[in-house]
Structures are given as structure tokens and as C-alpha cells.
Amino acid sequence: MPTPKDTLIDWLRDAHSMENQAVEMLNRQVERIKHYPELLAKAQEHVQVSNRQAERLEQCLKQLGTSASSIKTGIGMLIGNAQSLSGVLASDEIVKASVFNYAFEHFEIANYRALISAAQLAGEPEIARTLQQSLDEEIEMATWLEQHLPDVTKTFLARQNAGATADAKR
């Protein structure tokens, strides 16, 4: 039967994969959102935040005497690429990607909350504090996306109504 520490390690590896998925997904989106400069800047910033979060997770795993799973990390990266490619053919890619990003932030928030509880139960308060920093960053990003989703939608619809290419790429 796995111990709380064993479960924490497994979940930290999953979270590391999740952050790599986020980085890949955001990097692909950044390549295609030039008509949305505020969103572009925030996405570029969040790529850096997600990379730091992945590094924090690696540090937590190292503190527990182990490392990230290269298999899970690779799968996360593949999923991130696939997710970002799934909207490329949609004319409303930017709106769909923004909605997905908002939902994904809440997925990350839930994961960090579970990780913090698991770290506390495993007797790892330092890891819980480290994870709290990532949780706070994800809450900040989700709040930003929630506040800016109406503007992204309005910009998309205005571009579409004006006969301009309304998608994220052009």
C-alpha cells in the first residue's frame, strides 16, 4: 500500500507533466495571437511562470529523493501540442483557446490544492509552502483570463464583423 509520501511523489510527477503541457500549449498559441497583444503578453509571461513552476516541482521531487518522470513529462508535452493544434482549423480559435485556457487554469488550481493537502499530510510543510506559490500564480492567471475573456471575445467579433480575418493567426 502506498504511503502518503509515495502518493505525493506520484502527484508531483503528474503536476510536472501538467506544467510541461501548459508550456507547450501556450508556446503554440503565442505563435498565432498577434492581433491580441494583451493576451499575447500575458501568455508569454505565463510560459515563464509555468517553466518556473515546473522547476519548483523538480526541486520538490529532488527534496524527496527522486526526480520527474520523463515519460509523464513527454506525454504532457505531446498533449499540450495536440491541444493547441486542435483549434488551428477553427475560425474562432482565439475564443475557444481562451475558454480552454481558463478551464485549464482551474484544473491546475485544483491540482495544486490537492498537492498542498497531500504535502501537509505527508509531513512536508516546506513542499506545501513551495506549492502554495504556484497555486497563487495559477489563481492570478485564472482571474486575469476571467477578466479579459469578454475583451478577447469582443475583439474577435469586431474583427469578424469588419470582414478582417477574425482568427488568431492573421
In this predicted model, what pLDDT tens digit does every residue of 52-70 receive, in sequence order? 999 999 999 999 999 886 6
Digit-coded pLDDT (tens) for 79-115: 555 555 555 556 788 998 899 999 999 999 999 999 9
pLDDT of residue 73: 57
pLDDT of residue 150: 97
Residue 48 pLDDT more than 60?
yes
Query: Which range (5-19, 32-46, 71-85) has the least confidence?
Result: 71-85
Residue 169 pLDDT more than 80?
no
Scan for cell 509523464, then name that residue. Answer: 72
- Tell me the percentage of the chain whose pLDDT exceeds 70: 83
96: Cα separation from own chain's centroid: 15
pLDDT of residue 145: 97
Domains of the chain, each with CATH number or no CATH: 4-161 (1.20.1260.10)
Looking at per-residue confidence, does 32 or 168 come out higher?
A: 32
- Would you say 15 and 113 are in contact if contact means Cβ atoms under 8 Å apart? no
Spell out a b/e string for 80-113, using b for 16 or more CB atoms within 10 Å of the CB, else e.
Answer: beebbeebeeeebbbbebbebbbebbeebbebbe
